[in-house]
A and B are shown apart, each in its own frame.
Chain A
Amino acid sequence: MFEDGTIINELLIERLNYFIYVVLLLIGLHAMIAKKNLIKKLIGMSIFQTAIILFYVSIGVKEGSTIPVYLPEHDPHGSHSVPSDTNETSHFDHGPVILDSSLVKGYANPLPHVLMLTAIVVGVATLGLALALCQRIYQGYGTIEEDELLAKMESREIRSKTLSVQIPKDQKLPKKDELKKEKSRSVSKSKTLSASKPKPKGKK
Chain B
Amino acid sequence: MKLLSYIPVLVVGVLLLYAAKDFPEWGSPDAPASKSPVSSHFIANTGVDTEVPNMVTAVLADYRGFDTMFETVVVFIAGMAVLAILKNSGRKKLVKREFEVDAEPDLIVTNTVRLLVPVIQIFAFYVLAHGHVSPGGGFQGGVLMGASFILVALSWDLETALIRFPLNWTTILGGLGIFLYAGIGLLSMFLGGEFLDYSELANIFPVSREMARYHAMLGVEIGVGLTVTAIMFSLYANLSTEGRLQRGL
Chain A residues in contact with chain B, CB under 8 A? 1, 7, 10-11, 14-15, 17-19, 22, 25-26, 29-30, 33-34, 58-65, 67-70, 74-77, 79-80, 96-101, 103-105, 107, 109-114, 117-118, 121-122, 124-126, 128-129, 131-133, 135-136, 138-140, 182, 185-186, 189, 193-194, 197, 199-204
Contact = CB atoms under 8 A, between A and B. Distances in A.
Contact of B47 (A33, A65, A99): A99
B68 A26 contact: no
B53 A112 contact: no
A24 B126 CA distance: 35
B86 A136 contact: yes
A101 to B, nearest CB: 7
B53 A70 contact: yes
A118 B68 contact: yes
Contact of B27 (A63, A77, A107, A138): A63
A101 B29 CA distance: 12
B85 interface: yes
Contact of B51 (A62, A76, A114): A76
Interface residues of B, number: 77
Given A62-B34, A97-B47, A122 B163 contact: no
A79 B241 CA distance: 46
A204 B92 CA distance: 19
22 contacts: A11-B20, A14-B25, A18-B23, A26-B12, A30-B9, A34-B5, A58-B26, A69-B134, A76-B52, A79-B133, A80-B53, A96-B47, A110-B58, A111-B42, A122-B74, A129-B78, A129-B81, A135-B86, A138-B242, A197-B159, A203-B162, A203-B166
A131 B79 CA distance: 12
B17 A29 contact: no
A139 B56 contact: no
B137 to A, nearest CB: 8
Interface of B: 1-2, 5-6, 8-9, 12-13, 16-18, 20-21, 23, 25-29, 31, 33-34, 38-40, 42-48, 51-56, 58-60, 64, 67-68, 71, 74-75, 77-79, 81-82, 85-86, 89-92, 94, 133-135, 139, 159-160, 162-163, 166, 168, 210, 235, 238-239, 242-243, 246-247
Nearest 6 CB-CB pairs, A to B? A139-B90, A125-B78, A34-B5, A96-B47, A99-B44, A68-B55
A132 B55 contact: no
A69 B20 contact: no
Given A7-B21, A15-B20, A193-B246, A124 B78 contact: yes
B44 A101 contact: yes
A117 B139 CA distance: 9
Contacts of B46: 70
B20 A22 contact: yes
